[in-house]
Amino acid sequence: MKKIFLLSISMLITTLISCKEDSSNKKESTAQNVQETIEIAQVPLVNEVLTKEERDAMSPDDVIALFKEGNERFMNNNLTLRDHSAQVRKSASGQFPKAVVLSCLDSRVPVEDVFDRGIGDIFVGRVAGNFVNEDLLGSMEFGCKVAGSKLILVMGHEHCGAVKSAIDDVKLGNITSMLSKIRPTVETTQYEGDRTSSNPEFVQHVCENNVLNTIAEIRAKSPILKEMEDNGEIKIAGAVYDMDTGKVEFLNE
């Protein structure tokens, strides 16, 4: 009986010590979290917006370099901290974006975040399959000729549903007409093997060719943008977004 009593006392003491250590660890963890929060709060937020002078001083290649650097930060979960409320107020009277990005409609491609850009930094046009029509061409001409952007970037993405639907020749309401803009790329893409949407390699080939064909369409159907590119005022480039890694691969035409 005495042995049982002593054993019980020993277990009670051990439990109390353990609880005290757990409490101490929790306090240390809480203190550390508070310190980290304070340190984050002390990091100055970017509240400026791009000025005309800053934008005009850039070359098209400068903008591409900034996009690549921003994409690296995006992949490393190191996006710039911004005071969006302040940027909204400061950009209300005007805008001087450095680029026009034509992206797919896909909600998984957050264009501004992908390049770590803030309010007033870039124009973004979106349409399923990232092709051009009269409205988008007019928007690009406004962005570059009127507003002064230095880069047009056509950005497709991996596993594109619009590309897959064009490959399958889907017929459904206005989607039929939309996919007709991509279908010629499907037909002209050279590929030996399974030419269906279930073949990721073929889908990727069509995706990249669709970007390049869109660039060709821009040059062919917009004399304004073609002249600006020929004069070195702007650059028209293509890229593909990797849905698995977040990396943007710029294409060599």
CATH code of domain 52-250: 3.40.1050.10
Given a cut of 90, is residue 11 above it in pLDDT? Answer: no
pLDDT digits (tens, 9 = 90+) for 98-145: 999 999 999 999 999 999 999 999 999 999 999 999 999 999 999 999
In angstroms, the CA 46 to CA 190 distance is 47
In angstroms, the CA 248 to CA 238 distance is 10
- Locate 30 and state its tokens: 């809480």
In angstroms, the CA 232 to CA 62 distance is 13
In angstroms, the CA 201 to CA 207 distance is 10
- 84: confidence class by pLDDT, cuts 50, 70, 90: confident
Using a cut of 0.85, tell me whether the model's pTM lies above it.
no
pLDDT digits (tens, 9 = 90+) for 178-232: 999 999 999 999 999 999 999 999 999 999 999 999 999 999 999 999 999 999 9
Given a cut of 60, is residue 41 above it in pLDDT? Answer: no
Nearest C-alpha neighbor of 152 from the set 71, 56, 60: 60
Q: Considering the chain, what percentage of its residues have pLDDT values greater than 90?
A: 74
- 90: confidence class by pLDDT, cuts 50, 70, 90: confident
What are the residue ranges of helices labelled H in 43-155?
52-56, 60-75, 84-91, 111-114, 134-141
Lowest-pLDDT range of 57-66, 89-98, 157-166: 89-98
- 46: confidence class by pLDDT, cuts 50, 70, 90: confident
With contact defined as beta carbons under 8 Å apart, do 243 and 108 qualify?
Answer: yes
Residue 221 amino acid letter? K
In angstroms, the CA 150 to CA 138 distance is 16
In angstroms, the CA 191 to CA 204 distance is 11
